Structure 1
């Protein structure tokens, strides 16, 4: 395949030849009568979403969205949950307490009682079931209906949720995404087979031998640094990807890595709160931070009430990480955030103060290798995998817009997806 007249960074307008899934030649006026006319648009390495939850994202099409921007208060929540035929299961996602306060079984029963309803919190870590759902699944309905991190236990009593994987792959390709890193903490053994219909390249934390092992921390059951060090040692020689969304989780992680030593590929997932005194520590350990710089924008109102004032200046650092020499990359965390990496880039470039990035640096958050996020960006060069994102416009225009509207086509292994 020949892609003619495209802008390749640092090389100007050139032709790119692809064969056997790789870029084999880049140069001016390469021979070949047929091919794709790039019309001067930029040809980039395909975007890689470094932290996403694909099965949950695919289930969104069979779910009711009940987040703060989706439903207006308790009346809107009741209307959304009550739509459809009585008796049918309702799966709702994206809930936050700012909609109608803290939910439990009694609160859900008061809103809708004639059908089984389960509501997932925006964090993805809590499900709330009403009484009808508990009874339908054969569970005890005398409790509060709140289940923390219990997806595997609850799944057996549920009807299967349709997964729109083709839609996920199609929408991602339209945004120039050619690769995903699935970041579930306890991926089922069959997850890779389930996701094989996606056209994108796939890395699964915990399952793939070369990929990091995911370790999720919780303040309520937080291990000591010595205990976490033991978990890290059991994962070695593989790197680890440690879920850190609080200050104490980060420091326990850093203490553990100090004890056992870091290895290339060790990651902090989210880095929701990184105090300034942790920056030198992270740099010394060589740990990559895979963050979500869009969350302070998407969730600004909620963070004003949910996050302690002392932590707000340290939320989802980005610019200060890069300035400190700490490898930093981004993942959408979809479906718990936008699935559009261009929106993440736009948010990263639009943040005020030292956490903001240049638009070009924001694009780079999604150009790192799957196993080296935050490392040198992939390039369009001979020998590279032909995972490519073709834009309608030159790069200078694309980084002004930082919009998926700039994407014309995506290729995985040289095949248009």
Structure 2
């Protein structure tokens, strides 16, 4: 029988979540086939080549369990108006005015943060670019600002009304001010079967392949080897499929399919677990409410200084019907719920579905941002998997307390409380809603200190070892792949990163400065700084 070639890897330490460090492991056929001491593996595999990684730490490849890779790749074709490029509204408008339109004639910009760059509206966009459609998407991706030409292109006029989980901003005179929120925006990107094409222009999947390749290189440079794309409609599926056919093999992608397209997917027989080890279906995505940074999440108490309780995107009746159907089909659900009122509503639906049709499927709560003891108890009882924001404490810093108050901030992204309750917690940057670096995200989890120096819910700090486990084993469980990835143990995929420092040993405030020296996927080197 032909034996697969074996390569031994020797390092200062090899971390595997939940297991003791070892110093050596062997790889064959893209899998870990043995771990142990260097002497043990040298005796067992005498003819194997050996890669000496020095005294560095090897960890399982990082896994961002809730990000938006296809959108991030397509975003490379859009104008970046993040505060680093547009620190205030005048700078943002100048950047827009100098932009080259897409072939469609539109100017589409992303990364806008009104809390740092300041407010813009339809009138300001009209002055900057009066003759071309302009869409400026908020960093949360849950709302945008459009100019008059874009509103006309989308068929939105002064007669439009709020409803169906979406809304339109208006000025003091009741005139549309260009802001478009939640499902009113989402519906322009994703259309249900038979509803016709989404009118906001998107590049053809083949046009995104080069940007996809560049995004892969960036993520591999951070030691990321897996991710779950947390919203995959027809456009995103086309992008991933085109890249898959082009042989992109350095990031394993799980996909949460957009619930708006569920009829189409179900008719094709697509469901959880289908695909291969590079591109597979992880479940179905839906929304209960809006965003934390966009201040549109559905909360029981209003945002500080307002009477605003946020937006409920889906009605209880719609939510229960969707959960019953997808759960009954045996598919996993990953449902977006940020605010405490939204999470309770989702838990009601999950509990009812499980009570009426008991199944072993482990569903997810995406973000699960504002919790309390009762919410955590209910999550644990259902054995749900949660993906709280890993980076938001540092990314938003003191703005969170300004928007939500100290009490709620202590209960936001509650990694400590959730882990203590035995809940499976996965890592999420929600990139491009926050930076993708796992090192900056782990520092945020460990220090709960904002980039602005603010302490953000210090009671929710976790240890560096726990942060590593969240970013590896926890994320693997979120896509149902805990038996194939997330740990460097025999039988697991040989996806790993070689770090220049150990997050468990450095100053917690230096974790973000750690770098991946090498990244391996399927046992093959896909990135090296050397």
TM-score > 0.5 by shorter chain: yes
Instruction: Please tell me whether residue 235 in structure 1 is matched to residue 335 in structure 2.
Output: no
Higher relative contact order (Cα pairs below 8 Å, separated by 6+ residues)? 1
In 1, Cα distance between equivalents of 2:391 and 2:88: 24
In 2, Cα distance between equivalents of 1:44 and 1:71: 37
Q: Which residue of structure 2 lines up, in the alignment, with residue 282 of structure 1?
A: 379
- The verdict on how the C-alpha distance between 1:380 and 1:398 changes in structure 2, with shifts beyond 3 A counting, is farther
In 1, Cα distance between equivalents of 2:148 and 2:140: 23
In 2, Cα distance between equivalents of 1:390 and 1:100: 37
Q: What's the CA shift for 1:114? A: 5.1
Residue range with higher mean Cα deviation, 137-146 or 200-209: 137-146
Residue 381 of structure 1 aligns to a residue whose secondary structure is coil
Instruction: Please tell me whether residue 74 in structure 1 is matched to residue 89 in structure 2.
Output: yes
Mapping of 1:54-203 within 5 angstroms? 54-84=69-99, 89-99=106-116, 102-113=119-130, 115-134=132-151, 137=153, 139=155, 144-147=177-180, 148-149=185-186, 150-152=188-190, 155-156=198-199, 158=201, 160=203, 163=208, 164-184=211-231, 186=233, 188=235, 189-196=237-244, 197=248, 199-203=250-254
Q: What's the CA shift for 1:67? A: 3.4
Residue range with higher mean Cα deviation, 66-75 or 154-163: 154-163
In 2, Cα distance between equivalents of 1:393 and 1:371: 23
Q: What's the CA shift for 1:243? A: 0.4
Residue 351 of structure 2 aligns to a residue whose secondary structure is helix
Q: Which residue of structure 2 lines up, in the alignment, with residue 406 of structure 1?
A: 515
Q: What's the CA shift for 1:138? A: 7.0
- Stretches of structure 1 that go unaligned for 5 or more consecutive residues are none
CA contact 2:89–2:119 (8 Å) conserved in 1: no
CA contact 1:169–1:198 (8 Å) conserved in 2: no
Q: What's the CA shift for 1:38? A: 1.0
Aligned residues: 415
Residue 10 of structure 2 aligns to a residue whose secondary structure is strand
In 2, Cα distance between equivalents of 1:311 and 1:334: 24
Residue 325 of structure 1 aligns to a residue whose secondary structure is coil
In 1, Cα distance between equivalents of 2:79 and 2:106: 11
Q: What's the CA shift for 1:310? A: 5.6
CA contact 2:223–2:516 (8 Å) conserved in 1: yes
Q: Which residue of structure 2 lines up, in the alignment, with residue 360 of structure 1?
A: 465
- Stretches of structure 2 that go unaligned for 5 or more consecutive residues are 1-6, 159-175, 192-196, 258-269, 274-281, 290-310, 449-456
CA contact 1:291–1:316 (8 Å) conserved in 2: yes
CA contact 1:165–1:198 (8 Å) conserved in 2: no
Instruction: Please tell me whether residue 3 in structure 1 is matched to residue 9 in structure 2.
Output: yes
Residue 62 of structure 1 aligns to a residue whose secondary structure is coil
- The verdict on how the C-alpha distance between 1:198 and 1:70 changes in structure 2, with shifts beyond 3 A counting, is farther
In 1, Cα distance between equivalents of 2:220 and 2:22: 24
In 2, Cα distance between equivalents of 1:121 and 1:395: 32
Q: What's the CA shift for 1:134? A: 4.7
CA contact 1:41–1:395 (8 Å) conserved in 2: no
Q: What's the CA shift for 1:249? A: 0.8
Residue range with higher mean Cα deviation, 299-308 or 214-223: 299-308
1:49-102 Cα distance to aligned partner (Å, 9 max, x none): 100111221123233333345423221222221224589643211223324655
- The verdict on how the C-alpha distance between 1:186 and 1:305 changes in structure 2, with shifts beyond 3 A counting, is farther
CA contact 2:106–2:132 (8 Å) conserved in 1: yes
CA contact 2:386–2:424 (8 Å) conserved in 1: yes
- The verdict on how the C-alpha distance between 1:165 and 1:85 changes in structure 2, with shifts beyond 3 A counting, is closer
CA contact 2:385–2:424 (8 Å) conserved in 1: yes
Residue 190 of structure 1 aligns to a residue whose secondary structure is helix
In 2, Cα distance between equivalents of 1:195 and 1:302: 38
- The verdict on how the C-alpha distance between 1:382 and 1:56 changes in structure 2, with shifts beyond 3 A counting, is same
Q: What's the CA shift for 1:253? A: 0.8
Q: What's the CA shift for 1:155? A: 4.8
Residue 152 of structure 1 aligns to a residue whose secondary structure is coil
Indicate which of 235, 258, 283 corresponds to 1:212.
Answer: 283
In 2, Cα distance between equivalents of 1:293 and 1:281: 22
CA contact 1:359–1:399 (8 Å) conserved in 2: no
- The verdict on how the C-alpha distance between 1:332 and 1:394 changes in structure 2, with shifts beyond 3 A counting, is closer
Q: What's the CA shift for 1:33? A: 6.4
Residue range with higher mean Cα deviation, 319-328 or 138-147: 138-147
Indicate which of 289, 311, 314 corresponds to 1:222.
Answer: 314
Residue range with higher mean Cα deviation, 17-26 or 226-235: 226-235
Alpha-carbon RMSD: 3.0
Instruction: Please tell me whether residue 252 in structure 1 is matched to residue 345 in structure 2.
Output: yes
Residue 478 of structure 2 aligns to a residue whose secondary structure is coil
Q: What's the CA shift for 1:323? A: 1.5
In 2, Cα distance between equivalents of 1:100 and 1:172: 27
In 1, Cα distance between equivalents of 2:388 and 2:222: 20
In 1, Cα distance between equivalents of 2:12 and 2:410: 42
- The verdict on how the C-alpha distance between 1:329 and 1:203 changes in structure 2, with shifts beyond 3 A counting, is same
1:273-303 Cα distance to aligned partner (Å, 9 max, x none): 1123312111112111111132132113433
In 1, Cα distance between equivalents of 2:437 and 2:447: 16
1:170-226 Cα distance to aligned partner (Å, 9 max, x none): 1111111110101016454534303423521111113652222212113344322x5
Residue range with higher mean Cα deviation, 67-76 or 346-355: 67-76
In 1, Cα distance between equivalents of 2:512 and 2:47: 32
Query: How does the TM-score come out when normalised to structure 2?
Result: 0.71
CA contact 1:212–1:265 (8 Å) conserved in 2: no
Residue range with higher mean Cα deviation, 380-389 or 198-207: 198-207
